[in-house]
Structure 1
Amino acid sequence: MADKKKKKKRGGAKRKMTVEQITAHKSVAEWVSLGHSLKPSTAPLVNDVVVDVHDDDFGLLPNSTTNFLEKFKFEFHSHSISSDGFLSPSKLVERAHRNGVKVLSLTDHDTLSGIPEALKAAQKFGIKIIPGVEISTIFSPREEQQQPGLEEPVHILAYYSTCGPTKPDVFEKFLSNIRDGRYLRARNMLSKLNKLKLPVRWEQVTRIAGAGVAPGRLHVARAMVEAGYVENLKQAFSRYLHDGGPAYSKGSEPSVEDALQMICESGGVSVLAHPWALKNPVPIIRRLKDAGLHGIEVYRSDGKLAVFSDLADAYDLVKLGGSDFHGRGGHGESDMGSVNLPIVAVHEFLKMARPIWCASIKNSLEEYTEDPSPSKLEWIMKFGKIKVPNGGCSNNAELVELCLSSWFTKEERQNLVFDALKLKLSKVSFGAKEDIQVPMEI
């Protein structure tokens, strides 16, 4: 009898959603499902409050109110073969879908090249894509603090609206310089390995990396495994390629302050990646906050790291997290969607990010109205398509309204700035309307 009572207690009614969670879910769901709203009469009740969830293409409709939150998975840190991952962007999206992920950010190292393919695949599965990039930088101590060992690599995650960065040419040049440095860095690593009597061929590394992909340490490590110099990737890093290791080499990474400035000027949101890997996290986080950092990774698959959560609170930074999935396999890697990221944390991230993304899109559209060049339109509308009604759009104003309703929430569109912007856009020709390329969301 006692055992039955214990079992009943352990498997009792699940905790109801708090008012804070309801508010967060309502806001996040509206953002996820722009253009796919349900009628109010069909919205479910949670704790006697109408929760305005959206159509089940996004998998948001719960079977019951008890498992409502469990179905909403986020993945804010992942990699594809466009940098050092093992899966193509489309295969990465398929895996995310299989794991129940509803919001996915592809954050390849120093490139946005995989985003279009990821967006195309995501439309099939109804997954929300946040275009992202993980930027390689260097943190250097100030001149008065110069000490050996204080300089270290720092990775910054940048998240963008679906229209991508503003000033795209400048931003791409910034990333291109980093990628060029990765080629030089890889050659230097091979030179050091050669001196250690572990010759690895350049052709082998570039083959593993793939055409047009700047090689990184992981590609060198895979070549070492193939050549039989080490048993696995972990051994390659622990013996030779770790920061400061005998075969380690720096590239042409920008200072972390320069990267943060570039992210800010291009309409992005910056988050410090895996701060637990830093040698001196506290002084770095303090300086990065002064330089414009928006958030830090706090959540991992093994839970929230209290020390970094406290640092986020101390420096007023948003808390995020992701699996850092590469698809290399093995028990040591966290899978897609394995990080239990609370919806309240996502809500706080979006409250900070959405105004930045909205301003970025407005600026891009304003620039387009002043100089409606095909190249500007191509960049603004490069990530994904919108479904134009079968009857088409009768005029530019109707098409503009369709576009804006897919980018912005109703509340955001009520801003008076939009009235003037819509008027300007309605007078600009978008070309063939049946082939219009516009972002699905921001």
Structure 2
Amino acid sequence: MGEGNKDKRRRKKRGGAKRRMTAEQTLALKSVNEWVNLAKHSSSDEVNQIDDDFLPEMMCRATFSEKVVFELHSHSICSDGFLTPSALVEKAHQNGVKVLALTDHDTVSGIPEALEAAYRFGIKIIPGVEISSVFATRDDSESEEPVHILAYYSSCGPARFEEFDQFLRNIREGRYVRAKSMLSKLNKLKKPIKWENVIRIAGSGVAPGRLHVARALLEAGHVEDLKQAFDRYLYDGGPAYSKGSEPSAEEAVQMVCKTGGIAVLAHPWALKNPNPVVKSLKAAGLHGIEVYRSDGKLAVYSDLADAYGLLKLGGSDYHGRGGRAESDLGSVGLPVLAAHDFLKIARPIWCDAIKNNLVLYLEDSSELNLKHITRFATKSITTSNSEKDIINSCLRSWLSREEMQHADFQATISKLPDIAIS
């Protein structure tokens, strides 16, 4: 009797018997797996036309996984992370992640490197970005608070790329002004740090953020760790906190929608009062809200998502700092139904963005318009002999057969010219 109770306690501690999936979960898992393996199906279709050494073995096999780990919130050294995009992808692979969204702050510069690494490891990359913005109620414009909007795009990337890129560039330029303001405030607080140290820590071409200032504070010996830097000086509204030239949160959401992305409110638990923020952003086109964290689903934000008909998503917000305070990459257990719901909303929007880029290319078969399609294509695709081959390879790795066979796509693809690459 005693041994039986011990066995029950052990099973309970380990999580108990594995729950059987419902029919709905099984269908959702099948659909998610098919999407994850699109590029692998495309590669295996063409494997006879490609040298054996050219295609990694793992890319020739489409596997059905009983658990597909999505990581929808991560950062690299292209913003305030500690790992290169390649190292981040390798870490994701080690942690069993199958779908990784790189969401650096206000830049997509790390996406090409992440995609090349992901090709080697057999990981699906969702091009993403975390947009810095501010929210203020109409009644009290003085009570601005920072709001971050996660944007998720198709493998083709944002439509209207030049407009989107300028939008992000304006935010990044404001970060330089903001960082200098923070240094000025720290100097008045008798905690001086050098501008050149902040720029060195940020890295070449990276707009400095609060984390870079915090690391400079740590290097200068003004704080014992990064947490202390934020708790004492750099928290929202803190003595060294400064605002940049961020757009309104509504403008950020509208820009994401205009450029063929999925807009999701990041870490709503950091907001003073998320209700008016969510209400306003829903009206602007918001698609979802982060609900899941590594410590589970937060009921209050799940209820908020239900109230406004929003997707329930989540990610680790991984930066690679190390230590127990940071959630590990891939540690958020996004349910398969949540992943399926995300793709159900995202894929038609992404298809439209891809089609719009194709139409632009048909109207003007310029190198710039070809780049709008192939901007995030891997080198394995862009080594084809003609522009039509390149585009067809891209589409086969991005779209399902059903999506490719849609009348709009068929009509557009049939008009593609056969132009040889010089």
Change (3 A) 1:60 1:323: farther
**How far has the Cα of 1:58 moved from its partner?**
9.4
Q: Which residue of 2 aligns with 1:86?
A: 82
Provide, for residues 236-259 of structure 1, a one-character-per-residue CA deviation record: whole Å limited to 9, x for no partner. Answer: 111111011000000000011111
Of 146, 169, 181, 2:140 maps to 146
Could you tell me how far 1:15 is from its partner in structure 2? 1.7
Q: Which residue of 2 aligns with 1:261?
A: 254
Shift of 1:210: 0.4
Unaligned runs of 5+ in 1: 39-54, 63-67, 433-442
For residues 397 and 238 of structure 1, do their structure 2 counterparts lie closer, same or farther at Cα, with a shift above 3 Å needed? closer
- CA–CA separation in structure 1 for the residues paired with 2:206 and 2:389: 41
Question: Aligned-pair distance for 1:20?
Answer: 1.0
1:16-415 pair list within 5 angstroms:
16-37=20-41, 57=59, 61=63, 69-70=66-67, 72-142=68-138, 145-146=139-140, 148=142, 150-385=143-378, 387=380, 401-415=392-406
In 2, Cα distance between equivalents of 1:418 and 1:147: 46
> Aligned in 2, Cα 1:199/1:106: closer, same or farther, shift over 3 Å?
same
The 8 Å contact of residues 266 and 360 in structure 1, kept in 2 or not, is answered as yes
CA distance in structure 1 between the aligned counterparts of 2:389 and 2:188, rounded to whole angstroms: 66
Q: 1:60 to 1:241 in 2, by over 3 A?
A: farther
Return the alpha-carbon distance in structure 2 between the equivalents of residues 291 and 99 of structure 1: 36
1:423: how far off? Answer: 1.3
How many angstroms apart in 1 are the aligned matches of 2:419 and 2:240? 56
Task: Give CA deviations for 1:358-400 in whole Å, capped at 9, x if unaligned.
Answer: 0000000000010011011123102133757x9x88x877765
Encode CA deviations 1:55-101: one digit per residue, 9 max, x unaligned. Answer: 96599747xxxxx534x211000000000000100000110011010
* Aligned residue identity for 1:4: G
Residue 416 (structure 1) aligns with: 407
Aligned equivalents of 1:416, 1:379: Cα separation in 2: 22
Question: What SS does structure 1 have at the residue aligned with 2:119?
Answer: helix
Q: 1:35: how far off? A: 4.4
Letter of the 1:255 counterpart:
S
1:15 matched residue in structure 2:
19
State the number of aligned residues: 404
Query: Judging changes above 3 Å, is the alpha-carbon distance between structure 1 residues 403 and 217 closer, same or farther for their aligned structure 2 residues?
Result: closer
Q: CA deviation at 1:213?
A: 0.3
Please list every run of 5 or more consecutive structure 2 residues that lacks an aligned counterpart in the other structure: 43-56
Displacement, 1:18? 1.1
Mapped contact 2:293–2:332 kept (Cα < 8 A): yes
TM-score normalised per structure 1: 0.87
Percent identity between matched residues is 62
AA partner of residue 346 (structure 1): A
| Deviation for aligned residue 1:156 | 0.1
**CA positional deviation for 1:139:** 0.3
Whole-angstrom distance in 2 between the partners of 1:117 and 1:81: 12
Report the CA distance shift for 1:94/1:368 in structure 2 as closer, same or farther (over 3 A).
same
Q: What RMSD over aligned residues (CA atoms) do the two structures have, in Å?
A: 2.3
TM value normalised by structure 2: 0.91
Contact 1:33 1:58 in 2 (8 A): no
- Provide the C-alpha distance between the structure 2 equivalents of 1:179 and 1:87, rounded to a whole number of angstroms: 20
